[in-house]
Structure 1
Amino acid sequence: MDEIQSLVQGFGIAMTWQNLVFMLVGITLGVLIGVLPGLGGANGVAILLPLTFSMNPTSAIIMLSCIYWGALFGGAITSILFNIPGEPWSVATTFDGYPMAQQGRAAQALTAAFTSSFVGAIFAVLLITFLAPLLAKFALKFGPAEFFAVQLLTFCSFVGMSKEPPAKTIAAMMLGFALAAVGLDAVTGTLRMTFDVPELLKGFDFLIAVIGLFGIGEILLTMEEGLSFKGKSAKINFKVVWQTWGELIKHWKLFLRSVAVGCWMGITPGGATPASFMSYGMARRMSKEPNEFGKGRIEGVVAPETAAHAAGTSALLPMLTLGIPGSPTAAVLLGGLLIWGLQPGPMLFVEQKEFVWGLIASMYIGNIVGLIVVLTTVPWWAAILRIPFSIIGPVIIVICAIGAYTVHSSMFDVILMLVFGVLGYLFKKLKYPMAPLVLALVLGDMAESSFRQAMLLSQGSLGIFWGNPLAGSITTLALVMLVWPMIGALKNYYRAREAAPRTAA
């Protein structure tokens, strides 16, 4: 029951009037970010992170996490009303959400989406509440070998579970490792890949890279595509909300299944986008009327929204307990914690107990506030999309530049941001995943330190990674995940060879 007592203390921290104001501001900004195509949860948190440098860490992380919750809520608005996914994980919501809006059931679709998002998040927060302390206590037994094994598992999981080709995932990750290696070597004190540029002595600041990769890169691509907004208007009243809630109760099995998928994909480095598609596919396969999906089924809205919010929230569990982010946004939040002098991992629950439980308590309150905000203000957010994107786009670029300049008050950072923006644009055009790059950029230094410490302890022997059952099992699982795509390719090859003679016959 220690978790309950700590959570009650956390509510006392989260419910101070300052934190409640930051929570409301974060939710509002997050919904705006979710509504505007070209931005997103990771982009919004990265762009607005410099604004929190003068705040205390608890208030700052509460505001940033609420921006994330708001973005998760807001992505459904454009998907349903305009058939434009405000977030990558909202693509699956358009399949049935937009047809419902076309049929005059926009209010019902929005209510279902917001409620599903809320349910997914609450279940994920409950998971964090009761599992995080246990995982943190277990992780206290970790040494350098165990920490590197976990980090290796994270990297290999991106290769094994990503929907992108493994070669592209590995290439993106290798680029991230190379960028993370720039600067002063903490062990030997030698310079690495600075090319006589004084500004690179400290390496690439992950925040500059993230603002460029996500913010500028997405805006450049959106401008090229010539985005325009056309869609349905909607207004939600209490009667529709009540009726929709009554209908949603009948789909409780779908909620539980989608929550399970979302939490699993959040804890492992799957992410909200694969979770939403996986949950939608499962809902369709298990439905008695699968052919009706895509024509305006409420289950087609419930499944992806529940899974996406559960995945987005549960991604914070490995970030807080192990220092391993489960999503790009969690990686940005991890970087924020490091900037504020907080080291995510098992000791965070010992040394910064008030901070951790204040954050967890704010997840409950933030999602309740978010549900109320989006249910009452949908027409306002829809009206924003009547502003031409030719105006919105430059404004976002200016905000990105201000955010990049604020980090070190240096124009060199703004130039770097633009370079990373072009890189992000090329990544999107060539369909390379950016999450592995960001993960490697954030975790590269920590993984290198853990590996080198383990090598010093073992006098250069790789056997230390199999020196005990815990490290050995994690390392073995990581290697299995790394070669998993190859195993799948070999299976398909032999199946094709077996089928070829039958076809010829």
Structure 2
Amino acid sequence: MEELSALLQGFAVVLTPTNILVMFIGITLGVLIGVLPGLGGANGVAILLPLTFTMSPTTAIVMLSCIYWGALFGGAITSVLFNIPGEPWSVATTFDGYPMAQRGQAGAALTAAFTSSFVGAFIAVLMITFLAPLVARFALKFGTPEFFAVYLLTFCSFVGMGKGSPFKVLVSMALGFALAVVGMDTVTGQLRMTFGVSEMMRGFDFLIAVIGLFGIGEILTTMEEGLRFSGKSARISPKVVWETWKQLPRYWVTSLRSSVVGMWMGITPGGATPASFMSYGLAKKMSKNGANFGKGDIEGVVAPETAAHAAGTSALLPMLALGIPGSPTAAVLLGGLLIWGLQPGPLLFTEQKDFVWGLIASMYLGNIAGLIVVLCTVPLFASILRIPFSIIAPVIIVICAIGAYTVHNAMLDIALMLGFGVIGYVFKKLDYPLAPLVLALVLGDKAEDSFRQAMLVSQGDVGVMWSNPLVGSITTLALVMLFWPLISRALATLRGPRDDKPGLAGEQAAK
């Protein structure tokens, strides 16, 4: 009941004319970001973050979170109509969404995608509402060893549980750590790796890095690929919406399963993209119509969209309760909170109660607003894609440059942004993940401070990481996550001979 009363108070904070207007503006901008390949949720939030510096923290976070929800919704439009994923997590939506559009069912595919997105996000917000305060209360028992153990768990999860090469994840993360230490040492006050450049005393700002890595890097890649837009037009009428809504309840098991997968991948640093693929694969394996997947089955749209939104929303739980982002966009939002003087973590729920519950309330309202906006404006956003990319690309680059310059009003930041853009382009070409780099850049200095403070308290004894059951279990889990690829390979090797024996016995019996 305490959570419900706090949530009602949050609705009272959010339900002002200014916040409602900002909510719809944020959703519209987010859908535009999701529709345009070359932009993304993390980059869109990063570019527009400087615009919120003059707003109150509550209004600012409402706008930025609604940009995030809008980007989650917008990626489905290009996936269904143009077979072009507007966001990485929308790739799985193209498998059945585009074939449905080819058959003249674009309206039904988009309605299913938007509604499933809303359902996944709504279930994830319910989870945040009731779990976040419990996690925050539990985290109040944390000291510096426990916080470092949680940071270590986050980093190790990216290495061991990621879908790509662990070596590439380690390289990306190592570069992020190297960039995070540039500037002033917070413990000794000495300058590190500034090379005599006074502007480097403040280090590499995560916002400039994100704008370059995600924005400029994606634009360079897209320009090289010579992107062309061509696809089906679509109109969503009330009749199509109603007919589609009547079909969706029969897929409630798929929606629930996809929501659980999405929430797990959001809380752990898996992310929306692997969640969408995993849910699509599970739905295809468990559905009665699994053979029709890939040919235009509506269930093949429901599964990935539900999981992607559940993952994208639940990634905010560890950010709010522990100060540890579960996705690149959550990392950008974390940076925004720090800029506004708010320290995400367990104390946020006691010191800034109105802000936290206002944000959670805006998640409910933002998703409702997002569903309304996308159902009403699909033709408008689809027509934007017919603008030549040669016009869109320079506009995006100029917006990125303005966003980077606004952070510190320094021309050096624009040069750094372009440098990060080149790094993002190279990483994309070599198939290196960017998320671990961003995570290490945002959390590297915090992890370093926690580790050094823990070592000072223990007089250099690493055993402090196992000094009590709480920190010991988290540290052990982190190491298991780190070496999970080797552990799983060893288990598979041990399991191999056992699997062969029944087969041999069966052959002998058959003879």
Q: Matched residues in 1 for 2:100 and 2:243: separation?
A: 16
Following superposition of structure 1 onto structure 2, how do residues 299-378 of structure 1 map, counting pairs within 5 Å? 299-378=299-378
Letter in 2 for 1:7: L
3-state secondary structure, aligned to 2:151: helix
Q: Which moves more between the two structures, 352-361 or 485-494?
A: 485-494
The answer to whether residue 165 in structure 2 is matched with residue 168 in structure 1 is: no
Letter in 2 for 1:416: L
Alignment of 1:355-504 (within 5 A): 355-491=355-491
Quick one: distance in 2 between partners of 1:232 and 1:274?
27
Equivalent position of 1:240 in the other structure? 240
Question: In structure 2, what is the Cα distance between the partners aligned to 1:156 and 1:27?
Answer: 34
Match of 2:202, SS state, is coil
Q: Which has the higher mean CA deviation after the structures are superposed, 379-388 or 493-502?
A: 493-502
Q: Distance in 2 between matches of 1:480 and 1:149?
A: 13
Q: Which residue of 1 aligns with 2:79?
A: 79
Cα distance in 2 for residues equivalent to 1:79 and 1:106: 11
| Residue of structure 1 equivalent to 2:258 | 258
Give the distance between the partners of 1:455 and 1:308, measured in 2 at CA.
39
Q: How far has the Cα of 1:295 moved from its partner? A: 0.1
CA distance in 1, matches of 2:179, 2:288: 50
Please state how far the C-alpha of 1:491 moved relative to its aligned partner: 4.6
| CA deviation vs aligned residue, 1:443-473 (integer Å, no higher than 9, x gap) | 0111011111111111110111111100000
Distance 1:364 1:490, change over 3 A: same
Q: Whole-Å Cα distance in 1 between the matches of residues 287 and 10 of structure 2? A: 41
Distance 2:178 2:102 in 1: 48
Aligned twin of 1:8: 8
Aligned counterparts of 2:19 and 2:289: Cα–Cα separation in 1: 46
What amino acid sits opposite 2:85 in the alignment? P
* Correspondence 1:154-303 to 2 at 5 A: 154-303=154-303
Shift of 1:496: 8.0
Could you say which residue in structure 2 is the equivalent of 1:101? 101
Shift of 1:288: 1.6
1:148 to partner: Cα distance: 0.5
Aligned twin of 2:91: 91
Code of the aligned partner of 1:386: R
Q: Which amino acid aligns with 1:273?
A: T
Q: Per-residue deviation at 1:495?
A: 7.3
Q: Does 1:45 align with 2:45?
A: yes
Cα shift readout 1:473-498 (whole Å, capped 9, x = no counterpart)? 00000000000012233455677899
CA RMSD of superposed structures (Å): 1.5
Aligned partners of 1:108, 1:48: CA distance in 2, in Å?
32
Deviations 1:264-290 (A, max 9, x none): 000000000000000000000001232
Equivalent-residue separation in structure 1 for 2:488 and 2:85 (angstroms): 31
SS at match of 1:173: helix
Residue segments in structure 1 that go unaligned for 5+ positions in a row: none
Structure 2 CA distance for aligned equivalents of residues 487 and 383 of structure 1: 50
Q: Alpha carbons of 1:498 and 1:5: their partners in 2 closer, same or farther (altered >3 Å)? A: closer
TM-score, with structure 2 as normaliser:
0.97
Deviations 1:329-381 (A, max 9, x none): 00000011111111000000010000000000000000000000000110000
Distance in structure 1 (CA, Å) of the matches to 2:38 and 2:312: 19
User: In 2, Cα distance between the equivalents of 1:225 and 1:25?
Assistant: 31
Local SS of the residue matching 1:201: helix
Match of 1:17 in 2: 17
Letter in 1 for 2:6: S
CA distance in 1, matches of 2:119, 2:291: 26
Count residues in correspondence: 503
Matched residues in 2 for 1:53 and 1:423: separation? 28
| Deviating 4+ runs (over 4 angstroms) | 491-503
Work out the CA distance in 2 between the residues paired with 1:217 and 1:497. Answer: 47
Give the deviation of 1:197 after TM superposition. Answer: 1.0
Q: Which amino acid aligns with 1:132?
A: A
Quote the residue 2:27 is aligned against: 27
1:256, 1:47 → 2: CA distance?
34
Question: Identity of counterpart residues, as a percentage?
Answer: 75
CA distance in 1, matches of 2:164, 2:197: 35
CA distance in 2, matches of 1:266, 1:260: 10
C-alpha displacement of 1:435? 0.4
Trace 1:146-157 onto structure 2 (pairs within 5 A).
146-157=146-157
**Aligned mates of 2:145, 2:499 — CA distance in 1:** 45
State the alpha-carbon separation in 2 of the partners of residues 188 and 406 from structure 1.
30
Residue 270 of structure 2 aligns with an amino acid whose one-letter code is G
- 1:221, distance to aligned residue in structure 2 (A): 0.2
Q: Displacement of 1:82 after TM fit?
A: 0.2
Q: Distance in 1 between matches of 2:11 and 2:106?
A: 35
Sort the Cα spacing of 1:205 and 1:251 in 2 relative to 1 into closer, same or farther, 3 A: same
Give the TM-score taking structure 1 as reference length. 0.98
